[in-house]
């Protein structure tokens, strides 16, 4: 198969997947126009334009969701800091208790977000924990794992990677647990609502 034709078809398929349901008519029109194009160069430019348009539609559609995820991560961090200053700082609690409170805040926020967007549970379970505290985990990976520490005697990269793995597990598992709990609750609510409708004889 010609490379230009292969790229054109691939971009059209990706554009079709990215286009939101509200743009179904536009998607069908773009695909019909693409099928009628005979020149390979024009087909490539047309498919690139369609991909750009579909990407713009998808970004516009996902902006509220992404903003909500960023806000939710900030809320989780602020809730944790409020608990820290009200309790840990004054009483001097142990590090393990501080971690449990951090994980509880992450789980609660992920649960709420998954109730609103049950089909985005995987993204919620990863994005909120990893962006918690302004992306503290990503900063840790950059500063302590990817940046060499030749000046530090006894530094081992494998130990830094193990610490990073432990950190991501410690932050992601409460987010995953909260998000999955939200999905189960949303499904239970939906089933209960359907049962009430069927019992009342409603369509």
Q: Is 156 found in the same domain as 198?
A: yes
**Contact present, 106 and 132 (Cβ < 8 Å):** yes
Q: Is 109 found in the same domain as 203?
A: yes
Bigger pLDDT: 149 or 114? 114
Give me the pLDDT at residue 67, please: 86
**Contact present, 174 and 126 (Cβ < 8 Å):** no
Question: What's this model's pTM, rounded to 2 decimal places?
Answer: 0.60
Q: Is 121 found in the same domain as 44?
A: no
| Segment 145-153 mean pLDDT | 53
If pLDDT is split at 50, 70 and 90, which confidence band does 85 have? Answer: confident
Give me the pLDDT at residue 140, please: 58
* Integer Cα distance of 203 and 198 in angstroms: 7
Give me the pLDDT at residue 148, please: 54
Give me the pLDDT at residue 125, please: 85
Bigger pLDDT: 60 or 200? 60
Q: Describe the crossing of helices 121-141 and 157-200 by its angle, rounded to 10 degrees.
A: 160
Q: How many domains, the chain? A: 2
Residue 85 lies in a domain: no
Residue 89 lies in a domain: no
* Closest C-alpha among 14, 117, 128, 109 to residue 62: 117
For residue 145, pLDDT over 60 is answered with no
Q: Is 99 found in the same domain as 21?
A: no
* Integer Cα distance of 185 and 57 in angstroms: 31
For residue 53, pLDDT over 60 is answered with yes
Residue 76 lies in a domain: no
Q: Is 104 found in the same domain as 56?
A: no
Residue 24 lies in a domain: yes
The chain-wide mean pLDDT, for the chain, equals 77
Residue 88 lies in a domain: no
In this predicted model, what pLDDT tens digit does every residue of 5-52 receive, in sequence order?
888 888 888 888 888 888 888 888 888 888 888 887 888 888 888 888
If pLDDT is split at 50, 70 and 90, which confidence band does 3 have? Answer: confident
The whole domain housing 40 covers 1-68
Q: Is 118 found in the same domain as 58?
A: no
Residue 5 lies in a domain: yes
Pick from 50, 68, 86: which residue ends a domain?
68
Give me the pLDDT at residue 147, please: 57
């Amino acid at each position: 198969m010609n490379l230009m034709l292969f790229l054109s078809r691939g971009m059209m398929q990706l554009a079709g997947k990215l286009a939101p349901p509200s743009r179904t008519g536009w998607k069908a029109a773009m695909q019909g126009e693409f099928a009628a194009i005979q020149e390979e160069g024009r087909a490539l430019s047309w498919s690139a334009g369609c991909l750009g348009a579909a990407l713009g539609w998808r970004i516009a559609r996902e902006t509220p969701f992404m903003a909500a995820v960023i806000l939710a991560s900030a809320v989780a961090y602020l809730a944790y800091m409020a608990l820290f200053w009200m309790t840990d700082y004054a009483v001097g609690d142990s590090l393990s208790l501080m971690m449990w409170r951090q994980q509880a805040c992450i789980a609660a926020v992920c649960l709420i977000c998954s109730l609103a967007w049950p089909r985005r549970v995987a993204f919620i379970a990863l994005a909120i924990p990893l962006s918690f505290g302004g992306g503290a985990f990503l900063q840790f990976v950059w500063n302590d794992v990817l940046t060499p520490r030749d000046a530090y005697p006894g530094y081992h990269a494998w130990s830094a990677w193990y610490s990073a793995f432990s950190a991501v597990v410690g932050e992601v598992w409460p987010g995953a647990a909260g998000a999955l709990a939200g999905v189960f609750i949303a499904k239970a609510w939906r089933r209960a609502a359907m049962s009430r409708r069927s019992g009342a004889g409603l369509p």
